[in-house]
Chain A
Amino acid sequence: MDILKSVPFAVGLLLSAPAFAQNIAIIKFPELQKRLARPTDTTYVVNFWATWCAPCVKELPNFEQLRVANAGKKVKVLLVSLDYASQLDKKVTPFVKQRGLKSEVVLLNEPDPNEWIDKVDGKWSGALPFTLIFNNKTKQRASFERELSVAELTTALKKFQ
């Protein structure tokens, strides 16, 4: 009887226990800018995406693959969500958990993109997805205002190594 009673509890516990749940930080632009300007020899692969952007969602596993393939190297994948901050608990956190994204995810909470898009990259018109690869030590930089395949990402990253 006790066992039967505890079944729903155990199931509930299993469902609520996250296999991996990262805390997604909500950041403002100056904080992102600081991270983009860090004077390290790590190559950053920064992808701007949103849960509502179908090509972004399709492309995300490619960044995960890139991260795994470059584990142990000085490569950092950062996924910057442009979802509304009001959607963090409702959409972004469950999405990141469900997809098992292990690359760091941050949510950029700035209502007016006209204020900051140019500061990320003058060539970016604002369309998603957008990917920036840079190394501040070697001062190399590449940007892509389109969806990238694993092969394209790998080729792009190779130029930094």
Chain B
Amino acid sequence: MKKTLPLLALCFVLLSSFMLRPLAEGYKVGDKATDFKLKNIDGKMVSLADNKAAKGYIVVFTCNTCPFAKAYESRIIELNTKYAPLGYPVVAINPNDPAVAPGDSYAAMQSKKYAFPYLVDESQQVAKTFGATRTPHLFVLSKKGSDFVVSYIGAIDDNSEDAKLAKTKYVENAMTEILAGKPATTKETKAIGCGIKWKRA
């Protein structure tokens, strides 16, 4: 009888660790993000370390072609307007293979005039490292010392069709807590999006 309690506890720990373990590859909240060097639409290379004033970043994998990315485009611009002055600018990354989605070519990306970088992830390695699977797919990074720590992963809000009908603004709620130096209560969310157009093997 005495032995069953620790055994039960062990079972619980094993079970919960199994349930909490992320099944997909890529970052989970709390991981350090590896810096990258990607080409912006202006031809310049951009790294996380470049912007010394940044307290963090809102990294969003997005594209020109996905209807969900288009539906969220203005909301991504608003995130930058709101959070860049607070030290968390947006960095947009297009991971799609233009051979699969011609509308996502580097030339086509030039049509966007954002106040934030719009980078091309030509090798798709950054998307893979992050564990991005769809567009839009958003990652909030917070600077801790010289590291960038993943603080939120997922959706922007709970209504892709109409921003005005969104009841829960997931990323804004997370940002409020992150800016207050607290961990996000809802740190990971899921959303429907277009699967990233991976290069065909």
Q: Which A residues fall within an 8 A CB radius of B?
A: 50, 52-55, 82, 84, 86, 111-115, 117-118, 122-129, 145-147
- Are A52 and B24 closer than 8 Å at their CB atoms? no
Docked CA distance A55–B29 (Å): 30
Residue with the greatest number of chain B CB neighbours at <10 A, chosen from A53, A84, A129: A53
- Are B158 and A129 closer than 8 Å at their CB atoms? no
Q: How far is the CB of A146 from chain B (nearest CB, A)?
A: 7
Closest 4 pairs between A and B when the two form their complex, measured CB to CB: A112-B158, A127-B134, A127-B195, A52-B67
Query: Which of B67, B159, B165, B191 sits near A126, CB closer than 8 Å?
Result: B191
Q: Which residue of A lies closest to B168 (CB)?
A: A112
- Are B190 and A125 closer than 8 Å at their CB atoms? yes
Counted as pairs of residues, one from A and one from B, with CB atoms less than 8 Å apart, the total is 68
Q: Which residue of A lies closest to B70 (CB)?
A: A52
Cβ of B189 < 8 Å from any Cβ of A? Answer: yes
Cβ of B154 < 8 Å from any Cβ of A? Answer: yes
Query: Which of B137, B161, B170, B189 sits near A84, CB closer than 8 Å?
Result: B161
Total contacting residues, chain B, CB less than 8 A:
27
Report B-chain residues with C-beta under 8 Å of the C-beta of A50. Answer: 192
Give a binary string over B67-101; 1 marks a CB under 8 Å from any A CB, 0 the rest: 11000000000000000000000000000000001
B126-169 contacts to A (CB < 8 Å)? 133-134, 137, 154-155, 158-161, 165, 167-168
Query: Which of A86, A125, A129 sits near B161, CB closer than 8 Å?
Result: A86
- Are B195 and A55 closer than 8 Å at their CB atoms? yes
Cβ of B180 < 8 Å from any Cβ of A? Answer: no
- Are B195 and A128 closer than 8 Å at their CB atoms? yes
Q: What are 13 contact pairs spanning A and B, CB under 8 A?
A: A50-B192, A52-B68, A55-B195, A86-B161, A111-B165, A113-B191, A114-B170, A117-B190, A125-B190, A127-B193, A128-B192, A128-B195, A145-B133
Residue with the greatest number of chain A CB neighbours at <10 A, chosen from B167, B193, B194: B194
Report B-chain residues with C-beta under 8 Å of the C-beta of A112. Answer: 158-159, 167-168
Cβ of B196 < 8 Å from any Cβ of A? Answer: yes
Q: How far is the CB of B28 from chain A (nearest CB, A)?
A: 12
Q: How far is the CB of B91 from chain A (nearest CB, A)?
A: 20
Cβ of B1 < 8 Å from any Cβ of A? Answer: no
- Are B195 and A145 closer than 8 Å at their CB atoms? yes
Query: Which of A82, A86, A146 sits near B192, CB closer than 8 Å?
Result: A82
Docked CA distance A111–B101 (Å): 27
Docked CA distance A55–B65 (Å): 13
Report A-chain residues with C-beta under 8 Å of the C-beta of B154. Answer: 114
Q: Given contacts A127-B133, A128-B195, are A114 and B24 in contact (CB under 8 A)?
A: no
Residue with the greatest number of chain B CB neighbours at <10 A, chosen from A55, A113, A115, A125: A125
- Are B195 and A129 closer than 8 Å at their CB atoms? yes
Q: Which residue of B lies closest to A129 (CB)?
A: B195
Report A-chain residues with C-beta under 8 Å of the C-beta of B196. Answer: 127
- Other contacts beyond A53-B195, A111-B165, A126-B192: 5, CB < 8 A: A55-B197, A114-B158, A127-B133, A145-B133, A146-B195
Cβ of B23 < 8 Å from any Cβ of A? Answer: yes
Report A-chain residues with C-beta under 8 Å of the C-beta of B155. Answer: 113-114
Q: Given contacts A123-B23, A125-B134, A127-B133, are A113 and B192 in contact (CB under 8 A)?
A: yes
Report B-chain residues with C-beta under 8 Å of the C-beta of A122. Answer: 23
